[in-house]
Amino acid sequence: MAMKIRLARGGSKKRPFYRIVAADSRMPRDGRFIEKLGTYNPLLAKDSEDRVNMDIEKIKEWMEKGAQPTDRVRRMLEAAGALPKTERNNPKRAVPGKKAQERAQEKADKATAAAEAAAAPAEAPAEEAAAE
């Protein structure tokens, strides 16, 4: 039986509240679970102590039995110090493509050329005045 340590959603519409549960992976998200291991209230401030409550000892027992935490629960356990931090895949989606980078480079080149052209005539009369 594949076991998961995951979040089961409760609460009303637009007011989420989650239970951290040990459940069979084949059961529905909010359906039958074996044991409640904690709670998570995302509406509370991030620095609030009541935002995430976990029974870490029970979670470790379930993990020894083969239960796998989901990504979100794993992050909570890493923040609590129960698991070592892991490196995650973080693709660089915000980086523009090649053509956009080329256009930005051309625009920057034009701007520097315009700035140099604007600075050159301003310096020339000052040099002529100093020469006289």
- Rg, C-alpha atoms of the chain: 29
* pTM, two decimal places: 0.66
Indicate the range of 46-50, 93-97, 119-123 predicted with least confidence.
119-123
Sheet holding 3-12, edge to edge: 52-54, 35-40, 15-24, 3-12, 68-69
CA distance 54 to 124: 73
**Quick one: pLDDT band at residue 126, thresholds 50, 70, 90?**
low
- pLDDT at residue number 22: 95
**Quick one: pLDDT band at residue 34, thresholds 50, 70, 90?**
very high
- pLDDT at residue number 36: 95
Q: 69-85 pLDDT, tens per residue?
A: 999 999 999 999 888 99
- pLDDT at residue number 119: 81
CB 20 within 8 A of CB 54: yes
Q: 102-121 pLDDT, tens per residue?
A: 999 999 999 898 888 888 76
